[in-house]
Amino acid sequence: MKKGKGKSRVKSLFVLLALILFNAQIFGGTTGKIAGRVTDKTSGEPLPGVNIVILGTMMGAASDANGNYYIINIPPGTYSVKASLIGYGSVTITHVKVSADQTTRIDFELTEKAIQMSDVVVSAKKPLIRKDLTSTETKVDVNYIKMLPVEDVGSVINLQAGVVNGHFRGGRANEVKYLVDGVSVNDDYSGDATLTPELNSLQEIQVITGTFNAEYGQAMSGIVNQITKLPGNDYKGNISVYTGDYVSNRKDVYYNIGHISPKDIYNVQGFLAGPVPGLKDFVKFFVSGRSFYDDGYLYGRRMFNPSDSSNFSANNPKDWYVGNTGDNKYVPMNFNRRLTLQGKLVFKVGKGRGIVFNGMYQDRKYRDYNHLFKLDPDGDYKKFQKSFLGSISYTYVINNSAFIDFLASYFNSQFKQYVFQNPLDPRYVNPDRLKDVSGNAFYTGGTENWHFYHDTKTYTGKVDLTWQINNVHQIKTGVEFKYYNLNSKNFQIMIDAYTHFKPQLPKLGAFNYNVYTVNPYKFSSYIQDKIELQYLVVNIGVRFDYFEPDGRYLKNPNKINLLDNFTPPFPDSLMAKATAKYQVSPRIGISYPITDRGAIHISYGHFFQMPAFENLFLNPNFRIPLTGDFPANIGNTIGNANLEPQRTIMYEIGLQQALSNDIGITVTGYYKDIRNLLSTEIHIKNNFRKFGELINRDFGSVKGITISFTKRPVNGFGATLDYTFQIAKGTASDPNEAFDKAQANPPIEANKQLVPLSWDRRHQLNFTLTYGKADNYTISAVGQLGSGLPYTPSFENERIGLENSENKPAFFNVDLYLTKYFKLFNKNAMAFVKIYNLFDVPNEIQVFGDTGRAGYTLELTRQQERPRGVNTLKEFFTRPDFYSPPRQVNAGFTLSF
């Protein structure tokens, strides 16, 4: 792999970028628009020259000769809008909600002022029907989030129609782009979002599951735009604390479930915002933070330490030697610790939002449960994820119809995985300790002996142009440039007789010591027009994406054995430079209002996404050893820097209809054609060793329908209900599936037809209920009911049915939120209780292949040798990780000021 040239190359690229950016580009939308018409209430005639202002801001407009007006570049939030004209009584409309990328229509009727009269104040209602909606999109604002039993952005997203455990409309999980204030927080190494704002810092969450506009790129299934709060003119603050634990009587499944401690789950969070003292009209700030810890519900017991050694080789169990030195304490094996900090400074410069400095930091430490280490819990991996996002933006207002947003950002994502931080730590032991046991037995000593590190630095430059040409056309156009500095390292700690049983590192460049640095970059541009007519709304645009991989690939994988004669860099006769990739993606969406209470929309689009970088640069030394067992495809799969982009074509048709003044329904049908998904092609080294090369081969299709009901809160009661029917099929659910099948005994042929994907939930029903009295109490509930996900029938680890031909049991869950409001020291306060999995339902998220159930396997009934270890078969096949989390109860207190 080509080494990066460091900071000098970054600087030169940004000089080039500075020259390019004057072409202008729009990133994920963070502002909305108010538009409407002003008329004389008596005659119905349009009123020109009316002043319309958003109170508390410097934003406003004047109506034209036809009474029409518009105000653009409005941050999401709730506002009061006032219309005034000499000779007429002014009208103020309150509770006007503005969302990103959305037009909020507010019409005024003014009455001629014959005598002195007071201003008219009207409270706006959020419309049930969005006539400018051309694809499926949900806006979840901060006030609604506060009322629900949710802990993070992920739980809000999973309540949306068409979303199953982070999979949008049947796509793979890393096909969704996550944005914070319009800046991507996906780590392009893995494709996953590695930085998540806390709910107390958000103003709005925009979730797009349909055919999103041309302004959004590098995603095939959906967009999540998380818009954080902007400080206001007044000081505001909030602090919230809670503690809790898991409460269940299923002691036969879970270790340590009967021990209730306030230290097992705790949370402290808060924010403070307002003007900087002494600089009230010039600088405002917003700071927030959260410290969260969850011990988890999956525990091990420290019966053994990693250094312990046992011997179970004798035929008579009485002759077995068990060398356990553990203290038998319970150890959390799926804990999660997270610290999140955010700071924002807004300098009032010019007529727009001014200069905004934004910084966000997240530090996470966690474990994924490994059943084999249940009695040796200190020998398994711990994982560490640190992310930082820094950005600076400036809005230059050209006039009331056009503005430019300049933005530069830096995003750093660091991941580490190991047992002990020091690779030469003497607590690492010979990997043969993991072989002391055999059969269905827990480890009685030993450690995982690999270290994994990756560090992705992303430098982004953008310029945004929004131009409201007239009342009909709003143009967005521009470019974006991203430069990456990717560093990855993984190695195996060697401990054997050759190292005198002391930890040592292998030789750099060997199959078990991989290091590389690459500097790919991306460029994109697009133009789109939002056409808003009285009888039709059209979003039409086209996007161009370009990717330079900065890598080399093996010309002929069947000659991989020849590389063993060389050390990197390898000769050009065997290697080739990866070529640049690009695509032009047209997109169109149309909304046709059929009445003043209903609208039909149709949309179509092409979508482009490069595979995650780890797939391009996996196993950069191209070493395939002839023997050995390795984790995560190390040693048996090679990456491919010349991978093609993955592509999707999406179609959608939908209907919105108001059934009454407070109840609305939305029906949407969709279809996705997915091509060029990642897979593995099987090769053989030295006529003996199978290995895989990542290629573009898998494909799939998804079709479905969603039906959603919304009841607007009236007299304190509100509700939502949505149902999704979906069929998601593909040739494989995982890129490595073809290799895993080739390794099976006997080998299994790769799929040549579409099969249900592992997240193919055919039926899903979500509901929310809220009831309360202002300044007194709120009761809310969230529920989910879904059919079981597919699984492949098997017996004695051999497949006995078609892939994903059977289904797990159905899923059901209800969460409850109880809140009581009161005054404390003349400040608003509330006490609350959140209960997750209210009915403690044992949802079976994984099952045994021979029974299709989580609590029983035929392995317990057949004749077989006793496990050569300290556990019984029943203990080994009791799988707490096969169930969703048990009931969790949290209680806390919030003070606002």
| Residue-averaged pLDDT of the chain | 91
Where residue 7 falls among pLDDT bands split at 50, 70, 90?
A: very low
Cα separation, 838 vs 852, whole angstroms: 25
Amino acid identity of residue 631, one-letter, is P
- pLDDT on residue 156: 95
pLDDT confidence of residue 19: 34
Alpha-carbon Rg for the chain in angstroms: 29
Average pLDDT over residues 732-754: 82
- Which structure tokens are listed for 505? 């590192």
Average pLDDT score over residue span 659-683: 95
Range with the lowest mean pLDDT among 322-326, 468-472, 510-514? 510-514
Which percentage of the chain shows pLDDT scores above 70?
Answer: 95
Q: Which pLDDT band, with edges at 50, 70 and 90, does 630 fall under?
A: low
Mean per-residue pLDDT, 478-490: 96
Residue 784: Cβ-neighbour burial (10 angstroms; 0-12, 13-18, 19+): middle
Average pLDDT over residues 628-644: 79
Across the strands, what pairs with 268? 241, 291
Q: Yes or no: say if 525 and 25 are a contact pair by the CB < 8 Å rule.
A: yes
Helical H segments across 118-161, by residue range: 142-146, 153-157
The two three-digit tokens of residue 54, written as one number: 């958003």
Confidence band of 1 (pLDDT split at 50, 70, 90): very low
β-pairing, 450-468 with 382-399? Answer: unpaired
In 400-429, which ranges are E strands? Answer: 402-418
Residue 453 has pLDDT above 90, yes or no: yes
Q: Encoding tokens for residue 1?
A: 């792999």
Structure confidence at residue 747 as a pLDDT band (50, 70, 90): confident
Question: Region 496-523: what's the mean pLDDT?
Answer: 91
State yes or no: pLDDT of 327 exceeds 80. Answer: yes
User: Quick one: pLDDT at residue 10?
Assistant: 41
Above pLDDT 90, what percent of the chain? 76
Instruction: Return the beta strands (E) in 611-662 as ranges.
Output: 637-638, 646-658
Instruction: Please write down the HEC assignment for all residues of 299-336.
Output: EEECCCCCCCCCECCCCCHHHCECCCCCCCCEEECCCE
Residue 860's contacts (CB-CB under 8 Å, 6 or more residues apart) are: 873, 874, 877
- Looking at residue 473, what is its pLDDT? 96
The pLDDT value recorded for residue 766 is 97
pLDDT tens string 235-275:
999 999 999 999 999 999 999 998 999 999 999 999 999 99
Q: Is the pLDDT of residue 347 over 50?
A: yes
Q: What is the pLDDT of residues 13-50, one digit of tens each?
A: 443 333 333 333 334 567 899 999 999 999 999 999 99
pLDDT over threshold 60, residue 11: no
The per-residue pLDDT for range 361-419, each reduced to its tens digit, is 999 999 999 999 999 999 999 999 999 999 999 989 999 899 988 999 999 999 999 99
pLDDT computed for residue 115 by the predictor? 54
CA distances from 310 to 23, 253, 319, 320, 433 (A): 69, 27, 11, 8, 8
pLDDT band at 650 (very low <50, low <70, confident <90, very high): very high
The predicted pLDDT at position 117 comes to 58
DSSP 642: T
pLDDT of the residue at 137: 92
User: Containing H/E element for 835?
Assistant: strand 827-836
Q: Is the pLDDT of residue 635 over 80?
A: no
pLDDT digits (tens, 9 = 90+) for 172-206: 989 999 999 989 999 999 999 999 999 999 999 99
- Average pLDDT (100-114) is 88
Q: Inform me whether the pLDDT recorded for 2 exceeds 60.
A: no
Return the top range by mean pLDDT from 3-17, 509-523, 628-642: 509-523
Q: What is the mean pLDDT of residues 155-169?
A: 94
Q: In whole angstroms, what is the distance from residue 91 CA to residue 96 CA?
A: 13
> Which tens digit of pLDDT belongs to each residue from 762-817?
999 999 999 999 889 999 999 999 999 999 999 887 888 889 999 999 999 999 99
Residue 354 has pLDDT above 70, yes or no: yes
**pLDDT for the residue 351:** 75
- The SS3 of residue 641 is coil
- d(CA 605, CA 672) in angstroms, rounded, equals 10
Quick: pLDDT tens for 270-317: 999 999 998 878 999 999 999 999 999 999 999 999 999 999 999 999
Model pLDDT, residue 25: 36
